[in-house]
Structure 1
Amino acid sequence: MAEDAAASAPLCVEVVFSAQAGQTQEWTLHLPPQACLQDALRAVGLEASACEAGIWGRRAERAQRLRDGDRVELYRPLLVDPKVARRERFARQGARGAGLFSRQRPGGKAGY
Structure 2
Amino acid sequence: MAEPTCQVTLCWSLAPRHVQEMSLQVPEDSTVEAVLDLCVAQWLQSQGSADAASLSSLKFQQPGIWGHKVAWGHRVQAGDRIELYRPLKVDPKVARRQRFKRQGKGRTGLFANRKSGSAAGY
Question: Counterpart in 2 of 1:50?
Answer: 60
What 5-or-longer segments of structure 1 have no aligned partner? Answer: 1-7, 103-109
Question: Counterpart in 1 of 2:29?
Answer: 34
CA distance 1:67–1:101, shift in 2 (3 Å) = farther
Q: Which amino acid aligns with 1:34?
A: D
1:80-91 mapped onto 2 (5 Å cutoff)? 80-91=90-101
SS in 1 for 2:11: strand
Shift of 1:9: 3.8
Query: Structure 1 residue runs of 4+, over 6 Å off?
Result: none
Q: How far does the alpha carbon of each residue in 1:41-97 deviate from its partner, in whole angstroms, 9 at most, with x for none?
A: 111115662111111111111111001111101111100110110011000111224
2:87 to 60, 74, 77: 77
- In 2, the alpha carbon distance for the partners of 1:101 and 1:10 equals 58
- Percent identity, please: 41
SS in 1 for 2:94: helix
**TM (normalized to structure 1)?**
0.76
- In 1, the alpha carbon distance for the partners of 2:12 and 2:78 equals 19
Q: CA RMSD in A?
A: 2.0
Higher share of residues assigned helix: 2
CA distance 1:43–1:23, shift in 2 (3 Å) = same
1:13 aligns with 2:11: no
